[in-house]
Amino acid sequence: MGEFGLIEHLTKDFPIRNPQSRKGIGDDAAVLSFGEKEVLVTTDLLLEGIHFDLRYVPLKHLGYKAAIVNFSDIYAMNGNPKQITVSLGLSSRFTVEHIEELYSGIRLACEIYGVDLVGGDTSASATGMVISITCIGEADKEEVVYRSGAKETDLICVSGDLGAAYMGLQLLERENTVAAQSGKNFVPSFEGKEYILERQLKPEARKDIVAILKEKGVKPTAMMDISDGLSSELLHICKASGVGCRVYEDRIPIDYQTASMAEEFNMNLVTAAMNGGEDYELLFTVPLSDRDKIETINGVRMIGYITKPDLGAALVTNDGNELPIKAQGWNAFSGGNQDC
């Protein structure tokens, strides 16, 4: 059935009863209304052995990333994260020092993004580590951006570059396997690969992009964060907005290290960039009339445009062919509150 199908199936019989529940399942965050501001809520459940591997993820980085992925969901609604709650399940192999390490990463993320930790809960766990984070954000009523607002002729934009986090994970997994086979004297070689490792281990949420769009007077018509891969997120926006899209292969932003790693692994680079996931960049659409403003923003690239729904979603390759976009998203930190 797949994750999205399952959530849809399980939650279809839950009606919305309260006028304060503006938007429930089906976006990066829920949108609640209790007064002047809209309240945004998103939550992530991370399980050891499924979403993270402590053999190569330092606990401080894990804490940082676990917080960031939630902040990213709030930014993707054009809001600002304000509070988080953190619940931990811990098996007996974790010491207080381990948990302090994890929290030091969460604390750093809170400091940098100006977010308050307002709730906590720790409990024993029969096996491994469980991290559940809920993030609350706010936005002015007229500022919230959903997935559903993309219109024909809108420009499709992405921030930063794609595929690096995925290639970083491939590298970590390879070095980990080699290390396991080689014994204690093995020293992994990460030189010249710092960027893709950082993208995997210490991603950032694009607070800066949300701020600069506001500064430039650009309100996206639709927005998401890229957690499951560009292909998957494009399909989400097309489905929610009832539109199609064309995206140009030669416009997909890819870093040099990502490209060189893909070559080393003999992987198709565009596939990695389209389906890699965990980039936590922003994918958004803007009216054609905002083109000039977008062009002045560093680190944002226009990669295509929105079409009529019957044209479907396709990647225009460098030789002019149109390949239908399929969701092959992969994301170790998958799920996200409202991803269905």
User: How many CB atoms lie under 10 A from the CB of residue 139?
Assistant: 20
Residue with tokens 């491939």, as numbered in its chain:
170
CB of 98 vs its own copies, minimal distance in Å: 11
Distance CA 331, CA 35 (A): 35
CB of 82 vs its own copies, minimal distance in Å: 5
The tokens for 296 are: 């002045």
Residue with tokens 């996200």, as numbered in its chain:
336
Closer to its own copies by Cβ: residue 99 or 302: 99
Number of H helices, E strands in the chain: 10, 13
The tokens for 185 are: 């004297």
The tokens for 169 are: 């994970």
CB of 109 vs its own copies, minimal distance in Å: 11
Closer to its own copies by Cβ: residue 52 or 284: 52
Closer to its own copies by Cβ: residue 16 or 288: 16
CB of 333 vs its own copies, minimal distance in Å: 10
CB of 162 vs its own copies, minimal distance in Å: 23
CB of 74 vs its own copies, minimal distance in Å: 12
CB of 275 vs its own copies, minimal distance in Å: 19
Distance CA 47, CA 158 (A): 29
Distance CA 39, CA 140 (A): 9
User: How many CB atoms lie under 10 A from the CB of residue 42?
Assistant: 28
Distance CA 76, CA 54 (A): 28
Closer to its own copies by Cβ: residue 44 or 154: 44
Closer to its own copies by Cβ: residue 244 or 336: 336
Closer to its own copies by Cβ: residue 67 or 314: 67
The tokens for 110 are: 């809170």
Closer to its own copies by Cβ: residue 26 or 304: 26
Using left for φ > 0, alpha for ψ between -120 and 50, and beta otherwise, residue 2 falls in left
**Dihedral, CA atoms, 167, 169, 172, 173, nearest 10 degrees?**
-110
